[in-house]
Amino acid sequence: MPVQYTITELAREFDVTPRAIRFYEDQGLLSPSREGSSGLRRVYSGRDRTRLKLTLRGKRLGFTLSEIRDLLDVYESPTDTVAQLQAFLATVVRHREVLERQREDLNATLEDLAQYEAQARALLERGGIQTQPRTQRQTQQKQKHEQEADHTDTGAQPERS
C-alpha cells in the first residue's frame, strides 16, 4: 500500500501551516485525494509530498508559483521533452540573472555602508569619543579600504578579491 500523509503530518514535517498547504492545493500544485463520508479529509500521496518539498524549495529560492508549476511539470514529464527542458532552462537562467543583479546591488550597498561607518568612526575618534568595537567583518573592510587608499596614493591599482 502506498504511503499516505495527512495535512497535519506534512505541515509538521515541512514547518508550514495547513493553510499554506491548502493554498498550494488551490493553486494546483498539490492534488490530494479525499476520504471520509463527506470527502473532507485530505490524503496526500508520496507524489504530493515531493511536490510540496519542491514547491517550498522553489519559494525559498525566490521562484514564483507559476515558475514552480512549470518546474514541477518538467520534473514529472518524460526526460526527452525538449521544449519543456528548454523552458525550464530559460526560467533557471532568468532567475539566476536576477539573483546575480541583486547580489551586485547588495555588495555595492555594503561597500557604501562600510565607507559611511568608517567616516563616522573617524569623526567620533577625532573628537575623542570611544566607538563600539568592530566586528571581524568590519575590521576586514577597514583593512581593505586602507589598502585601496594606499594603492590610490601611490598610483597603483587596488587588488580585487
Q: Which three cell numbers stand for residue 11?
A: 505541515
Distance CA 52, CA 60 (A): 12
Q: Which three cell numbers stand for residue 15?
A: 514547518
Q: 142 or 152, which is more confident?
A: 142
Q: What is the pLDDT of residues 110-119, one digit of tens each?
A: 999 999 999 9
Are the CB atoms for 87 and 74 separated by under 8 Å? yes
| Domain residue ranges in the chain | 4-61, 77-161
Q: Longest C-alpha distance within the chain, in Å?
A: 83
* pLDDT band at residue 149 using 50, 70 and 90 as cut-offs: low
Percent helix, strand and coil across the chain, each rounded to 5? 65, 5, 25
- Asked if pLDDT for residue 106 goes beyond 90, the answer is yes
Identify the residue whose cell numbers are 581593505: 144
Q: What is the pLDDT of residues 25-78, one digit of tens each?
A: 999 999 999 887 777 889 999 999 999 999 999 999 888 999 898 888 777 776
**How does strand 33-35 pair with strand 4-5?**
unpaired
CA distances from 53 to 21, 56, 67, 126, 154 (A): 11, 5, 15, 55, 55
* pLDDT band at residue 161 using 50, 70 and 90 as cut-offs: very low
Query: What top-level class would CATH report for the domain 4-61?
Result: mainly alpha
Model pTM score? 0.60
